[in-house]
A and B are shown apart, each in its own frame.
Chain A
Amino acid sequence: MPRLTMKRHSPAIDMTPMVDLGFLLVTFFMMTTQFSPTELVTVTTPHATSEEKLPEANNAVVVISKDGNVYFRTDQAKHVKALGEKLNTKYSLGLTEDELTKFSQQTGFGMPLSGMKQFLNLTAAQQKITAMPGIPVEDNHNELIDWLIYARIANPDVRMVIKGDKATNYPVIKKVMDTLQQCNINRFVLITDTEAKPKI
């Protein structure tokens, strides 16, 4: 009887298809990635059954922390500089061109404009540890209104978003909503967390 001889296969496999797929996915993710914005404060949003998703671009977010501090962030970096220029003129902050560039690189703002110049001249590491007291929204000194108005001038398509912590007291929320209304913004969205829809 002849001995059955198995054909010897080389242990190396052709990896080409796998590599093709790998690179395809890399390309896809590189193109679609939108980095999650770093938040200045930790905010636990309340739950709601709404299923609407927040569109990706053109959002100006008013973040309200648990302690009632108000922060402002916008996702359109190219509009931030225009916003800075407008605020610079209105409040005569005396920001230089260099400082305005630094301003446009910020991901969020949470300090009175009077402290802006000083803050921008800090190094990135120092900025990180600097406590942000929040944007003033008091009746007699409301800077948020200018942030909102100029953000809207810089980008007319902007969508106003409120991201509040669930433990925030209502008066602060009301103040922010009133401020939005003062700028004639009557349509805005509230960020919520997922919750299963109940059966009725």
Chain B
Amino acid sequence: MAEVNTEHKQKGDQNKGIVKKGKKLSTRIDMTPMVDLAFLLLTFFILATTLNKPQVMQLILPEKNQENLNQPKVNEKNLLNIVLEGNNKIYWYIGLTEAQAVEINYSDTGLRKVLQEQTKANEKIVVEIKPSETSTYENLIDTLDEMQINSVKTYMLTDYSDEDKAIIQRLAGGVQPAGSNS
């Protein structure tokens, strides 16, 4: 170590004049390129970030293969059927026997009004959503969303059966009910 140091000293002595003549550089550096780069990166990361996380809707379905278990029975008077048809049509009716289907749509005065009236009239109401084969995913989401908006306590997703088909065909057959609710 000592040797190296002395060697340096000697070298320094030899070049003494040149070192002293060296121009005194400013301690400030031009930071502009670095700043440019930093902001370029910043812009990139801001743009690449997933700004809005997607929104989700929870859906919990009952377990399958539960046929042998005791499932609660519902009085059909408390059963509000909502059949989702193609072309954004909805049919609703209470119960199954002698049910009178009514055609409505997805507007505020359609499905929402029916749900509000029915939940108010009957606290024990159970809503059964039956999407037909011609309905779309949007129809289903809209209906599930309406359940949340109107805070319907019990609702379920079931299959569209031939029985439902018959009820709706009866309506299409020409027997139009007088009022929307009776």
Interfacial residues, chain A to chain B (CB-CB below 8 A): 15-16, 18-19, 22-23, 25-26, 29-30, 32-36, 45-54, 56, 64, 161, 163-171, 173-174, 177, 181-182, 184, 186-195, 197-198, 200
Instruction: Please report the C-alpha to C-alpha distance between residue A31 and residue B126 in the assembled complex, in whole angstroms.
Output: 48
- Closest B residue to A61 by CB, please name it: B54
B48 touches which of A23, A35, A53, A186 (Cβ 8 Å) = A35
What's the dominant secondary structure at chain A's contact region? Answer: mixed
- Least CB distance from A44 to B in Å reads 9
Asked whether B45 lies within 8 Å of A33 as measured between CB atoms, the reply is yes
Asked whether B55 lies within 8 Å of A26 as measured between CB atoms, the reply is no
- B13-35 CB mask vs A (1 if < 8 Å, else 0) is 00000000000000000011011
Asked whether A164 lies within 8 Å of B53 as measured between CB atoms, the reply is no
Asked whether B141 lies within 8 Å of A168 as measured between CB atoms, the reply is no
Closest 4 CB pairs of A and B: A29-B45, A166-B138, A46-B141, A189-B56
On whether A53 and B56 interact (CB within 8 A), knowing A177-B61, A186-B63, the answer reads yes
Neighbouring B residues of A195 by C-beta, 8 Å:
145
User: Which interface residue of B41, B53, B60, B137 has the most chain A CB atoms within 10 A?
Assistant: B137
Instruction: Please report the C-alpha to C-alpha distance between residue A49 and residue B149 in the assembled complex, in whole angstroms.
Output: 8
Asked whether B137 lies within 8 Å of A54 as measured between CB atoms, the reply is no
Neighbouring A residues of B142 by C-beta, 8 Å:
46, 48
Neighbouring B residues of A34 by C-beta, 8 Å:
49-50
Looking at chain B, what size class is its interface with the partner chain? 35 or more
User: Which interface residue of A47, A48, A163, A186 has the most chain B CB atoms within 10 A?
Assistant: A48
Stretch at the interface among B73-81, B90-98, B127-135: B127-135
Neighbouring B residues of A170 by C-beta, 8 Å:
84, 131-137, 139-140
On whether A171 and B136 interact (CB within 8 A), knowing A22-B35, A48-B144, A190-B141, the answer reads no
Instruction: Please report the C-alpha to C-alpha distance between residue A187 and residue B132 in the assembled complex, in whole angstroms.
Output: 23
- Closest B residue to A197 by CB, please name it: B149
B11 within 8 Å of A by Cβ?
Answer: no
Instruction: Please report the C-alpha to C-alpha distance between residue A188 and residue B61 in the assembled complex, in whole angstroms.
Output: 9
Asked whether A167 lies within 8 Å of B138 as measured between CB atoms, the reply is yes
A29 touches which of B49, B55, B64, B148 (Cβ 8 Å) = B49
